Amino acid sequence: MFANYIIRMDDASPTMSLEKWNRLEKLLDKYQIKPIVAVIPNNKDPKLLLNYPSNQFWQKVKVWQDKRWTIALHGFEHKYTTEAKSIVPINNYSEFAGLPLEEQKLKIKSGIKIFNKNSINCRMWVAPAHSFDKNTIEALKSETNIHIISDGIAWNPYYEYGMHWIPQQLWKPRKMLFGTWTICYHPDDMSNNDFEILEDFLKKNSKNIISVDELKLSKKRKSFTERVFEKLYWKLLRIKQKS
C-alpha cells in the first residue's frame, strides 16, 4: 500500500503576491504537479490585499486551467461575517455558515458569474476558513455545476450530502502510509523554508502526487474506521488549539 497526495493552493486573487505564486507555479511545473487552486472571485479581505489588483489575473487563471489545474470556487469576497457552526469544525467564523439559503445562493451565483465572464470552468468548492453549512451545499447544487468539495477528514474520497468530498487533512508535507492526502498551502504566507521543504518533498514523492482528474470518485460513504479517525482528529486539533 502507498499514499497519494494532492497539492492545494488557497487565496488566489488579483491582489495576491505574484512573486510567491509565480515561484510556486514554477516549482510545481518542474515536477509536473497539477494542483487545486482556490480562487476568490471578488476578494474584499483586507488581509489579502497585498498588491494593486493585477489586470492579468484572470488570464493567469485561464493558463492554469489550460494546464489542467483544478480551479475551485473559494467563496465570494472572503470576508468573515458570521460565527455560526460549520460542517467542518475547524474555525468559528465564516463567510457562509449561518446565512439564509437565498443569501448564500446570491453569493455563489455572483461568484460563478465572474468565473463564467472570464471563461473559467468550475466543478469544486473550497470554503473560506473551511466554514460552510448545509445551506451552502444546497446553494451550490442550485446555482452551479459543482459536485466536489475539497475538505473534510478521512483517508479516501467519500460521498456525503449529495457531494463528492476530497479530504483535506494536512498543511505541510508529511509522509503517510496509505490513503489520499491533500496538502493545503497559502502561497502568500509561504517562507523560503516552506518552499525548500516542499521541493524536497516533491523530489522524493512526485510519482505519488496526483491531480483531481486521476481520482476515481464514487458514492462510497466514510467507513466506520474513518469516522473514528475523524473524531480523534478533531479532538486532537481542539487540544492543540487550546495549548
Separation between Cα atoms, residue 168 and residue 76, nearest integer Å: 20
> What pLDDT does residue 73 have?
98
Confidence band for 53, pLDDT divided at 50, 70 and 90: confident
The answer to whether the CB of 70 falls within 8 A of the CB of 37 is yes
Domain containing 74: what range?
3-242
Count CA within 13 A, CB hemisphere, residue 60.
16
Least confident of 21-30, 96-105, 143-152, 214-223: 214-223
> What pLDDT does residue 223 have?
84
pLDDT of 240 higher than 70: no
- Give me the phi and psi of 9, to 5 degrees please: -120, 120
Identify the CATH number of the domain in which residue 109 sits. 3.20.20.370
Beta bridge partners of 170: 183
> Which residues, other chains included, contact 129 with Cβ-Cβ below 8 Å and sequence gap of 6+?
80, 90, 91, 93, 94, 95
> What pLDDT does residue 242 have?
56
Stretch 118-136: mean pLDDT? 95
> Which residues, other chains included, contact 37 with Cβ-Cβ below 8 Å and sequence gap of 6+?
8, 9, 12, 61, 64, 69, 70, 71, 72
Stretch 154-171: mean pLDDT? 93
Confidence band for 1, pLDDT divided at 50, 70 and 90: low
Confidence band for 132, pLDDT divided at 50, 70 and 90: very high
The answer to whether the CB of 11 falls within 8 A of the CB of 74 is yes
> What pLDDT does residue 135 have?
96
For the stretch 96-110, pLDDT in tens is 999 999 999 999 999
For the stretch 25-46, pLDDT in tens is 999 999 999 999 999 999 999 8
Stretch 198-227: mean pLDDT? 91
pLDDT of 164 higher than 70: yes
Q: 212: which 3 cell numbers?
A: 483531481
Count of structural domains within the chain:
1
